[in-house]
């Protein structure tokens, strides 16, 4: 009788039996593959382009050998592999084995059949499960090899800038006999071994699994496959011991997170999608139970365009309920920076695509890898037919562990969605015992819900699920000591969670990620391109819609606008707009913005020509005047500059009605001109009857007063508009993170290159300018402008930025006492503390916002407005705008260039709502359009206006499916309950409320009354109205 096994020696014995390093001459692992045979012929052709199969196979191929290296980075090699299977292998399972450090795709009979990526554990393509006499023994495969890895080609570290000269080695290309019985036994033993280790010595189950594994080694003679079934029976006996009824259920769903661009360019992502998804489809053919959740309509569209054969196979599996479109958005966009309307369009474009292609919209919003989630998202989801949300990114929090995995999330308007974070804190699980146990142990809502998600498959750079992951989970489906594991769907999981939801907690407000807050500032040109293009598309839509309503012959540019919107939405992907991508992607993104600017300008001109044709035509004897158009929903009185005689610019003070136009002829003077005076100490004062400013020689504000009340904004002894430079060296994620300790390195910018001087003497506009040296070798020039009748002071800033790992901010100490500052977000605003009382407060030392932020006490406040910045902080009484960073990974050239941006400071009496801060921030971002005209007189015309400043008419566009109708979108901006009347001069026949997907709501038509349309709002409520026009 043998002695009972000793735990440590038995455990190590089993480990060595499975090892791919030790004793492979006599252990089980060494028997996984049998006979091997090189290809009959191996040849290749290399190209810098990503070309289609049809073109590739026509090229001239040269001989290649295993061990050869190819490159450099981003090249493509096509290999022609001629195979001849030895007849002696009859009855055996035969694989084509391929290993290289590039990403490969196998083509067979002119179709992609499988991805081959070492990093994604896909190095074998199965040729036959059992070689038959009748099967062809000779065949030709093509392998398309991208000279980049699953995570690009970072130099030194994964997120390093790509190494342009990397070579990619082909280390294996051969036919092998695969011993399926050895593989099955290996998987059994790996799971028993993991259960032994992870359940621990205090759990009797861990001894049962160890003794079973030890006994399997005893029974198994690796040279005699007839001993394998007895060993497998021992494993099956363990796996078939069932769980109790109270055991947690894990819903396993195949997944493959593919960043639409990141450490590789957009073009490579198209191939990543094909490599990953063809592998999934191949797996589904072998495993009819496999389900796979797949987001991002853009990626489906790419595959539809580039791989139509594969796309049809995907559609078949969508119809079978295995390949499951999720998310409902065009891409997995950044969750903070896109405007409210951009977020609506992410859903509108995504959901319409899924409806058109697959016959239904998505019921879950899917955003597992984005750097925080706006508090307006719940309302947007609900408006797009979605009540469920899945992510996991908050598990990355640096300071505070988020307290839930399953909960209700409530937005700023009160909308709620059921939210689930997979408790394993990953979207790239591999079906291992360790991950299964973590999913249960880590679940922060034990006792409230007994089900959770488990997303398995290689991700980020693609890859997806493998057969081995599935085989592991089959064995763990219901075995004592582990939670139940079932292959499931997102719908099945959320349906169960909905039934169990009565005990769930509610989280109110934003889901703020306590990490990656450098992404509000990195790659300033991308941020600026995003803001500008959002404005351009807004204006083109407003003007085109009005042109259609005024002139039945004008064609609304629906298809051009869809194309431009889709480019903008693509650039809002969560590694592009945040700036955490390589230089190649930045170049693509900037090219797309340039395309939107160019096409947008042309579309805008066409719309204006149609809308105002009679006013623009030169007439005999007519004198030159200017037509000014306003695309915002309130009347504006502003100073504009317009072309004067002989190429000069002249200024005019104009008043333009809400969403309309007016003609300006005479150069007008303000009743209260701007005065600019230089003082003896070199300081300069400017005043316009609304505000009075005093600036020192370095361009800093020493005083900013409201003229009426004499209330001072700048505390005595302080200076506002103070630039400061910080060291900016994060722990790892260079483009992503700015760390708390950067605040300890503040250095005020004090080197003056050109002292303050007057550039515009006053009248309609006063201006002063100065220049500073910033850091080692950067320069900053600023023109500070005060316009007649304008309640804010503008800072037109140009920076020649050449720093490394520095962070430039501008600070405004203000004479306001408040525990909270207010920040604009999508379709609304929220408060964040100005103190660091708790770790939750302190972790928000750097936050995001959109066009304005405000610090107010009762009766007075100061707002900062901007035209393209997103990072800020408010600590104590100091408001600070984040201007520029200089990270070196993954783009070594990030932000090293010329920058131009504008911000403004606005002191105000009363609340920011009553003072019109919201309207002023829009005005700064949406300049009036001045066009040369010929009409001397013309009554001002307004298309839309609203009875209350609490409601903003954000969007006017043609309805997606009805050329005879338009959609107007309004939101309550003050945080109040209010009734608003929408007035229009357009020929509206009927009006009805609709959702964000433009599906009419059930209430029927709204009455068209003398005062317009009566609309009821609660705080931050978003309403969309379908207006049908008279023909």
Please indicate whether residue 369 is annotated as part of the active site.
yes
With beta carbons less than 8 A apart as the criterion, state whether 504 and 406 touch.
Answer: yes
Q: How many CB atoms lie within 10 A of CB 621?
A: 7
- Give the span between the Cα atoms of 819 and 47, in whole angstroms: 61
- Give the span between the Cα atoms of 376 and 504, in whole angstroms: 21
Q: How many CB atoms lie within 10 A of CB 22?
A: 12
With beta carbons less than 8 A apart as the criterion, state whether 820 and 861 touch.
Answer: no
- Tell me how far the alpha carbon of residue 747 is from its chain's centroid: 33
- Give the span between the Cα atoms of 485 and 483, in whole angstroms: 6
Strand pairing class (292-294; 249-255)? parallel
- Give the span between the Cα atoms of 259 and 261, in whole angstroms: 5
- Give the span between the Cα atoms of 641 and 767, in whole angstroms: 14
DSSP secondary structure string for all residues of 379-419: HHHHHTT--EEE--GGGG-SSS--S-SEEEEE-TTS-EEEE
With beta carbons less than 8 A apart as the criterion, state whether 442 and 425 touch.
Answer: yes
- Give the span between the Cα atoms of 616 and 619, in whole angstroms: 9
Q: Strand pairing partners for 908? A: 861
Q: Coil, strand, or helix at residue 885?
A: coil
Task: Spell out the residues 6+ positions from residue 6 whose beta carbon is closer than 8 angstroms to its own.
Answer: none
Residue 840's alpha-carbon distances to 521, 567, 843, in angstroms, are: 22, 36, 5
For the chain, give the number of residues: 1031
- For the chain, helix, strand, coil in percent to 5 are 30, 35, 40
The tokens describing 999, both together, are 């599906």
Say which of 194, 369, 734, 895 is annotated catalytic: 369
- Residue 472, exposed/middle/buried by CB under 10 A (0-12, 13-18, 19+)? buried
The tokens describing 222, both together, are 């690796």
- Give the span between the Cα atoms of 569 and 537, in whole angstroms: 12
Q: Considering all CA atoms of the chain, what is the largest pairwise distance in Å, rounded to the nearest integer?
A: 119
Quote the radius of gyration of the chain (alpha carbons, Å). 32
Angle at 838 between CA 832 and CA 844, to 5 degrees: 40
For 804-870, give the secondary structure using H, E and C.
CCEEEEEEEECCCCCCEEEEEECCEEEEEECCCCCHHHHCCCCEECCCEEEEEECCEEEEEEECCCC
Q: Coil, strand, or helix at residue 152?
A: strand
With beta carbons less than 8 A apart as the criterion, state whether 422 and 455 touch.
Answer: yes
Q: How many CB atoms lie within 10 A of CB 610?
A: 18
- Give the span between the Cα atoms of 995 and 351, in whole angstroms: 13
With beta carbons less than 8 A apart as the criterion, state whether 366 and 491 touch.
Answer: no
Taking Cα atoms as reference points, which of 557, 673, 684 lies closest to residue 609?
A: 557
Q: How many CB atoms lie within 10 A of CB 746?
A: 13
Return the residue matching tokens 């947007």.
380
With beta carbons less than 8 A apart as the criterion, state whether 385 and 995 touch.
Answer: yes
Give me the phi and psi of 199, to 5 degrees please: -75, -25
- Give the span between the Cα atoms of 17 and 26, in whole angstroms: 8
Give me the phi and psi of 342, to 5 degrees please: -60, -40
Catalytic sites, residue numbers: 369
């Amino acid at each position: 009788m043998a002695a009972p096994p000793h735990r440590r020696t038995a455990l190590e014995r089993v480990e060595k039996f499975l090892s791919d390093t030790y004793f492979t001459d006599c252990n089980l692992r060494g028997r996984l593959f049998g006979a091997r045979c090189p290809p009959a012929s191996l040849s290749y052709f290399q190209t810098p382009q990503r070309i289609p199969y049809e073109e590739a196979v026509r090229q001239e191929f040269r001989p290649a050998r295993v061990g050869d290296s190819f490159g450099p980075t981003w090249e493509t090699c096509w290999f022609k592999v001629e195979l001849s299977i030895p007849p002696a292998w009859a009855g055996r399972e035969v694989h084509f084995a391929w290993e290289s450090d590039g990403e490969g795709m196998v083509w067979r009979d002119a179709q992609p059949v499988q991805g081959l990526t070492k990093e994604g554990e896909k190095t074998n393509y199965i040729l036959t499960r059992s070689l038959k006499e009748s099967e062809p023994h000779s065949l030709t495969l093509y392998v398309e090899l991208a000279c980049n890895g699953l995570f690009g080609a970072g130099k030194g570290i994964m997120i390093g800038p790509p190494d342009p000269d990397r070579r990619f080695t082909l280390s294996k290309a051969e036919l092998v006999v695969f011993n399926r019985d050895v593989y099955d036994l290996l998987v059994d033993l790996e799971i028993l071994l993991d259960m032994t280790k992870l359940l621990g010595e205090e759990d009797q189950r861990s001894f049962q699994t160890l003794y079973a594994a030890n006994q399997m080694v005893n029974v198994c003679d690796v040279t005699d496959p007839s001993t394998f079934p007895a060993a497998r029976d021992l494993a099956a006996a363990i796996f078939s011991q069932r769980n109790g009824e109270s055991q947690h259920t894990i819903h396993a769903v195949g997944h493959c997170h593919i960043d639409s661009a990141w450490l590789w360019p957009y073009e490579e992502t198209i191939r990543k999608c094909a490599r990953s998804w063809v592998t999934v489809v191949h797996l589904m053919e072998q495993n009819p139970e496999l389900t796979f959740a797949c987001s991002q309509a853009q990626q489906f569209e790419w595959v539809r365009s580039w791989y139509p054969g594969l796309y049809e196979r995907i559609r078949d599996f969508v119809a079978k309920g295995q390949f499951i479109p999720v998310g409902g958005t065009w891409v997995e966009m950044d969750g903070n920076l896109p405007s409210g309307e951009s977020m609506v369009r992410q859903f509108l474009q995504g959901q319409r695509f899924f409806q058109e292609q697959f016959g239904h919209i998505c019921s879950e919003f899917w955003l597992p890898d984005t750097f925080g989630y706006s508090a307006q998202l719940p309302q947007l989801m609900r408006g797009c037919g979605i009540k469920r949300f899945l992510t996991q990114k908050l598990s990355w929090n640096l300071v505070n562990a988020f307290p839930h995995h399953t909960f209700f999330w409530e937005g700023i308007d009160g909308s709620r969605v059921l939210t689930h974070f997979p408790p394993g804190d990953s979207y790239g699980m591999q079906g291992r015992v360790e991950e299964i146990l973590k999913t249960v142990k880590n679940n922060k809502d034990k006792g409230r819900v007994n089900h959770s998600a488990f997303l398995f498959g290689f991700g980020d750079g693609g890859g997806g699920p493998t057969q081995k992951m599935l085989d592991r989970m089959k064995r763990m489906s219901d075995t004592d000591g582990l939670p139940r594991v079932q292959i499931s769907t997102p719908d099945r999981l959320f349906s169960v969670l909905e039934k169990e939801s009565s005990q769930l907690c509610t989280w109110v407000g934003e889901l703020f990620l306590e990490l990656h807050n450098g992404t509000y500032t990195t790659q300033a040109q991308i941020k600026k391109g995003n803001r500008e293009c959002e404005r351009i598309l807004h204006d083109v839509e407003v003007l085109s819609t009005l042109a259609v309503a005024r002139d039945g012959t004008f064609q609304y540019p629906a298809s051009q606008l869809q194309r431009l919107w889709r480019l903008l939405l693509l650039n809002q992907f969560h590694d592009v707009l945040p700036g955490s991508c390589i230089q190649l992607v930045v170049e693509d993104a900037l090219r797309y913005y340039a395309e939107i600017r160019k096409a947008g300008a042309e579309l805008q001109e066409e719309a204006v020509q149609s809308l105002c044709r009679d006013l623009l035509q030169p007439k005999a004897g007519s004198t030159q005047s200017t037509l000014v158009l306003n695309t915002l929903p309130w009347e504006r009185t502003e100073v504009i500059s317009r072309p004067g005689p002989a190429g000069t610019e002249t200024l005019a003070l104009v008043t333009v009605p809400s969403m309309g136009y007016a003609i300006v002829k005479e150069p007008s003077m303000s009743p209260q001109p701007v005065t600019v005076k230089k003082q003896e100490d070199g300081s300069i004062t400017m005043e316009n009857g609304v505000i009075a400013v005093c600036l020192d020689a370095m361009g800093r504000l020493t005083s900013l007063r409201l003229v009426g009340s004499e209330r001072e904004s700048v505390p005595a002894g302080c200076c506002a508009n103070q630039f400061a430079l910080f060291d900016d060296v994060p722990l790892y994620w260079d483009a992503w993170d700015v760390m708390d300790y950067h605040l300890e390195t503040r250095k005020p910018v004090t080197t003056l290159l050109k002292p303050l001087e007057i550039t515009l003497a006053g009248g309609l506009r006063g201006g002063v300018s100065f220049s500073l040296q910033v850091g080692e070798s950067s320069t900053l020039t600023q023109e500070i402008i005060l316009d007649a009748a304008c309640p804010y002071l503008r800072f037109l800033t140009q920076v020649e930025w050449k720093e490394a790992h520095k962070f430039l901010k501008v600070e405004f100490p203000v004479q306001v006492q408040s525990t909270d500052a207010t920040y604009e977000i999508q379709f609304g605003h929220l408060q964040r503390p100005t103190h660091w009382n708790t770790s939750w407060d302190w972790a928000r030392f750097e936050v995001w916002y959109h066009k304005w932020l405000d610090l107010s006490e009762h009766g007075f406040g100061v707002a900062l407005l901007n035209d393209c910045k997103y990072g800020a902080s408010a600590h104590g009484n100091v408001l600070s705008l984040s201007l520029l960073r200089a990270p070196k990974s993954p783009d070594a050239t990030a932000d090293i260039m010329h920058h131009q941006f504008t911000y403004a400071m606005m002191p105000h009496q009363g609340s920011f709502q009553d003072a019109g801060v919201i309207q002023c921030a829009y005005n700064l971002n949406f300049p009036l359009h001045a066009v040369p005209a010929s009409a001397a007189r013309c009554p001002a015309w307004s298309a839309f206006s609203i009875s209350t400043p609490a409601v903003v008419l954000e969007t006017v566009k043609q309805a997606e499916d009805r050329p005879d109708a338009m959609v107007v979108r309004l939101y309550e901006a003050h945080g109040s309950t209010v009734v608003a009347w929408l007035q229009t001069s357009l020929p509206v026949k009927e009006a009805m409320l609709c959702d964000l997907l433009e599906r009419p709501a059930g209430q029927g038509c709204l009455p068209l009354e003398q005062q317009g349309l009566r609309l009821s709002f609660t705080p931050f409520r978003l309403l969309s109205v379908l207006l049908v026009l008279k023909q």
